[in-house]
Amino acid sequence: MSNPQSASAPHESKIAIGAAITGVINGLLNGAIQWYLLAGHDPLPLTVDCISNDEHTVFGAAVPLAVSLAMILTAVAYTTVKPPRPPFYPTFLWMTVKHGFFTLGVIVTLAVLWQRLFGSVIISLPVGVVMLGLVAGVVAATVNYMTIRATVIRPA
């Protein structure tokens, strides 16, 4: 059984297309920003085998990038939906926090598993920037889709 929608609510395929476009744009923009921030740090390790370090790593850059994007883009996606929409507090404020913590958990878990399975792998700056752009794009697309879908499609 499908979820009822208001007459002006976009169909899920339109939400998915919009989210994909958001992901591509965010991936390109954040890739360019990371290129600027990490310039001069070539080559880069993906991870290092210690909790605290002074070395720039790809996963080390991915954590704050992904968490901040998840939280900011949840709030931004909510504000882009035209009223009527549910109130931001408490539902979408909680969703903002959940997206941040979920993203933190996923990225840190992937980094720990990578380090455990493959150790410290050194890559070039362009490869690292592409990876960070992909992280930003996937996070942006996923958060945008989940937030807009929850805002416009009401469960029965």
Task: Report which of residues 2 and 81 the model is more confident about.
Answer: 81
- C-alpha distance across the termini of the chain, in Å: 10
Lookup: tokens for 138: 């996937």
- pLDDT range class, residue 154, cuts 50, 70, 90: low
CA angle (26, 144, 68) in 5-degree steps: 60
Please answer whether residues 107 and 59 qualify as being in contact, where contact means their C-beta atoms are separated by less than 8 angstroms. yes
Q: Looking at residue 8, what is its pLDDT?
A: 56
The answer, yes or no, to whether residue 156 has pLDDT greater than 60, is no
The answer, yes or no, to whether residue 3 has pLDDT greater than 80, is no
Please answer whether residues 96 and 71 qualify as being in contact, where contact means their C-beta atoms are separated by less than 8 angstroms. yes
Dihedral sign, Cα of residue 40, residue 43, residue 45, residue 50: negative
- 98-110: per-residue pLDDT in tens? 999 999 999 999 9
